[in-house]
Amino acid sequence: MFLTNRYLTFQQGTYESGSFQQRFFFLHKVFTLEGSPNNESTWIVLPLTITEEEAGYEVRFEDSIRPKHVTDRANLHSHEIESTVSGQQEVSCFDDDDSTNENDVWRVEQYDQDDEQYDDFWRVNQPVILRHVATVIMLLNLILKPDLYKFQITVDEFYTGLSAKKRIEQLYGIFCLSQTLEHRYGPWRDNEFLDNRIKEGDSIDLMVDPVHSQSIKIYCKSDNRLERLTVYINPTNTVGQLKASLSPTLNIPTENQTIKYNEETLENYKTLSEYNIAPLSLIQVEYTHNK
């Protein structure tokens, strides 16, 4: 997983409730040989059972695929049943080489719509989003213990805590106010330059609360405008509040706006979290001008 540096892997066994299907979990690098993925974290990408594509063809963004676990030959699978472990939508391994269904199908999407490294095809080492086609939910790494997840960045002596947070916000869509930074000697405060004891290239731990993040970064695209708009908004805000935040930039009243996500028209009174809108999601904005 891109932010948490973990490998998707699979373990024999079943959930004790929910669907009773085989579970999967995320294995951190430290538990794999020489910091590399092993057989238990190796998957192959297969086309749909009915398709004009052949095995070995390049995978385009927005293509639908079937990830299959190499060792156990089970398919990466999801459905609307809630996981008893995380409280989120359950993800498991199910079926085999001889059987599959629509719940084994995932869509490949760009991780960052504005990143110039992407072209039409999924290239080696490019981070992507896997979205479950049947339920339109993204595959998410939620670490339950501890409650915060970590990854590392490299900074230089001229960085303050705040400038590092802004860089992280730019790269990963994590709002500054949701971040806590720590170096080897303790918290890295917003107005604090790196101490002389910290050498250039040292690792800085970033901790983010994945449930209570104050704001997320999303993109808004309209057929009426060529460029995407970048918006920071709390997932607990309503669609109506999103429209209100767009009004000054678009110069369009909220009542003239229609917000869509995954081709679904969003209701004003519902929150973004109710529609499972995650960081770096692309929102479609349609609007009309008053005559």
Per-residue pLDDT tens digits for 237-273: 889 989 988 888 888 889 999 999 888 999 999 888 7
Provide the pLDDT for residue 257. 92
| Fold assignment, 6-138 | Trefoil (Acidic Fibroblast Growth Factor, subunit A) (2.80.10)
pLDDT of residue 22 exceeding 70, the answer is no
pLDDT, one tens digit per residue, over 136-171 is 888 765 443 333 445 566 667 778 888 888 877 776
pLDDT at 29: 25
Same fold, 6-138 and 149-208: no
Average pLDDT over every residue of 95-119: 83
Q: Which fold has domain 216-287?
A: Ubiquitin-like (UB roll) (3.10.20)
pLDDT at 14: 46
Q: How far apart are CA 121 and CA 185, in angstroms?
A: 43
- By the 8 A CB rule, do 79 and 135 touch? yes
The confidence score (pLDDT) of residue 96 equals 76
- The model carries a pTM of 0.45
So what's the pLDDT on residue 105? Answer: 92
Contact in structure between 251 and 289 (CB atoms under 8 Å): no
Instruction: Supply φ then ψ for residue 168, to 5 degrees.
Output: -65, -40
Strand ranges, E, within the chain: 6-14, 22-28, 43-46, 64-69, 75-82, 89-94, 106-110, 128-132, 137-138, 149-154, 179-183, 186-187, 203-208, 216-221, 229-233, 257-261, 264-265, 282-287
Once rounded to an integer, what is the mean pLDDT over residues 31-57? 69
Close Cβ partners of 208 (under 8 Å, ≥ 6 residues apart) = 148, 149, 174, 178, 179, 180
pLDDT of residue 84: 52
Structure-model confidence comparison of residues 18 and 100, the more confident one = 100
Structure confidence at residue 31 (pLDDT) = 29
Count the Cβ atoms, other than its own, within 10 Å of residue 16: 9
Query: Which residue has better confidence, 41 or 188?
Result: 188
- pLDDT average, residue stretch 194-204: 68
CATH 3.10.20.90 fits 149-208, yes or no: yes
Q: Which residue has the tokens 């009542």?
A: 255
Record the tokens describing residue 170, joined without a space.
């730019």
Helix (H) or strand (E) holding 242: helix 239-250
Q: Which two tokens stand for residue 62?
A: 């927005």
CA distance linking residue 8 with residue 139, whole number of Å:
10
DSSP code, position 111: S
Q: What are phi and psi of 150, to 5 degrees?
A: -135, 145
Backbone angles phi, psi at 240, to 5 degrees: -60, -40
How do the domains of the chain map onto residue ranges?
Answer: 6-138, 149-208, 216-287
With a cut of 60, say whether residue 194 has pLDDT above it: yes
pLDDT at 72 over 70: yes
Portion of the chain with pLDDT greater than 70, in percent: 68
